[in-house]
Structure formats: C-alpha cells, structure tokens
Amino acid sequence: MGHFEDSEYSSACSAAEGFRALNLPSRLSLDRLISIIERARGRRIEIDVCESLNSGTVCGLWLSTNTREIILHAPTPSALHRQQFILHELGHMVLRHDEAVVSANYAETLFPNLSGEKVSRILGRSDFLDHIEAAAETLADLFAAAIRDSSIEPRSFERILG
C-alpha cells in the first residue's frame, strides 16, 4: 500500500500512471499523501511559505537534494490554494521531473538575478514545457479529488438508518 514498485516508479510519466503507481489508500489526507511520497522518494519533504513567490506567476517551487525535498509556496490565506500549490509540486516529484534537465534560457526567465546555468543545476528539471506543467497539475487534481473523496462520509446511510 502506498509505494512504488521500482519499475512503476521509474516509468510513471503521465499523471494517470503516476497516480496508479502510488496505489493510494482509500482514506487519504494531505499529510498521509506526503508520508507516502516521502517513503517512495526516500527523503523527508519540508514545506514552507516563501514570501518572495507571488501567486501571479510562480506559486510554488520544488528543490530536491540528496537528503530532502523542499517545497516552497506563495503566501495565501486560502487553505485550498495552499494545498493545490503543494499537490502540484508533489506531482512533479511523483512524475520524477527532477530527472530531466532545465534549459538555461528558461531558468533565467524564472530567476533573472541568477545565472541560468546555476538555476538549471539547482532545479534539475526540463524546459518546463507546457505538457510537464500540465501533467503535474493534472496529478495534483487527481490527488485533490482523492483527498476530497476521503472526507465524504461513506457510511451516511448507517447514521440515518442506525
């Protein structure tokens, strides 16, 4: 329950495949999902708000190191938006977007005060083509639906009928 087989994990390239490969339990919360992905990746996931991110352009950022995964997200008063920012970055983790290479040109547009080469090495992602971001967002939506469905009381008939 809640783990990748090596071959499934390495081949999880689409949102649906990544979601299925996790073999998530029927009762899911954000915290439980984070724990499952921590075990799958073999690293602790740290999440923090980053005041310098603005939700107009970049809402979240994921940095992967040898010992931990770091998710930074834009400040928001909405718990639902915060969750979606985090789920999107978790989607990148599950889809292993850290194994691709970021183009220096795109990296410079994200962080104009840093060299594109340096940002590329730090992020370790691809060109952030639309399909990569779309896959991460689709997976985030699948996670959100699973969490939302877990909060629905499945035994409502039992409560009413005793």
Per run of 10 residues, the mean pLDDT along the chain (length 162 residues) is 40 76 94 97 96 80 92 94 96 85 56 61 51 89 94 53 48
Contact 18, 36 (CB under 8 A): no
Range of the domain at 114: 6-151
pLDDT of residue 19: 95
Has this prediction a pTM greater than 0.95?
Answer: no
* Residue 51 within any structural domain of the chain: yes
Total of domains in the chain: 1
1 inside domain:
no
In a domain, 162, yes or no: no
**Is residue 107 included in any domain, yes or no?**
yes
Q: CA distances (Å), 6 to each of 11, 21, 58, 125, 155, in order?
A: 9, 10, 32, 21, 36
